[in-house]
Amino acid sequence: MILRCTKKLLAVLGAGRVAEPGPTPDAGDWYASLLWSGRRKCLLLTHAATLFSVFEAGVRAADLRATHRLVTGLVERELRHEGLPPATFGNLRSQEDRHVLVDRLTDQGSTAPRGNTPHSHQTVTDTARSG
């Protein structure tokens, strides 16, 4: 699973996890933004091809750092809530490639992809195992 994150979200994830180069953009990618409502962190996830979106209020920094577990859990929950098959976006839990792709978006309010130049992306590896 590739998750392209805003700069704001990367700051919470920890820049020390950044590795290069990142994979090229794909329709199966997810985009993530960290938003604030009052003092609460909120996460907005959007699938690139379908624009299927997930919004989660009150996320904790520790949860965000276990990125793969958090994102797959939220997507699976929303698929159930919408009555969609669990495999709509593939088997998210069995994917061994656990990378988070960071796209340094300049527009803080948008999860849309920006320039696809190699220097505008970085890959962050999430080593946490989902259970």
Across all residues in the chain, what is the average pLDDT? 76
CB-CB contact of 5 with 32 (8 Å)? yes
DSSP lists the bridge partners of residue 48 as none
The rounded distance, in Å, linking the Cα atoms of 21 and 119 is: 8
The rounded distance, in Å, linking the Cα atoms of 129 and 102 is: 20
Would you list the domain boundaries of the chain? 2-125
Identify the pLDDT of residue 20.
63
Identify the pLDDT of residue 41.
95
Distances, alpha carbon 91 to alpha carbons 28, 86, 88, 124, in Å? 12, 8, 8, 21
Identify the pLDDT of residue 22.
66
The list of the chain residues with pLDDT below 50 reads 97, 105-131
Q: Which residues fall within 8 angstroms of residue 125, CB to CB, at 6 or more apart?
A: 17, 19, 98, 99, 100
Q: Which residues fall within 8 angstroms of residue 96, CB to CB, at 6 or more apart?
A: none
